[in-house]
Amino acid sequence: MSRTHVAKSLEITTQMLGAIDRGDRNPSLSFAKKIADYYGVSIDDLFLIITAT
Q: What is the pLDDT along the chain (53 residues), one digit of tens a residue?
A: 799 999 999 999 999 999 999 989 999 999 999 999 999 999 998 888 777 76
pLDDT value of position 14 = 97
Task: Give the residue extent of every domain in the chain.
Answer: 3-47
Q: Are 10 and 19 in contact (CB under 8 A)?
A: no
Q: Are 7 and 16 in contact (CB under 8 A)?
A: yes
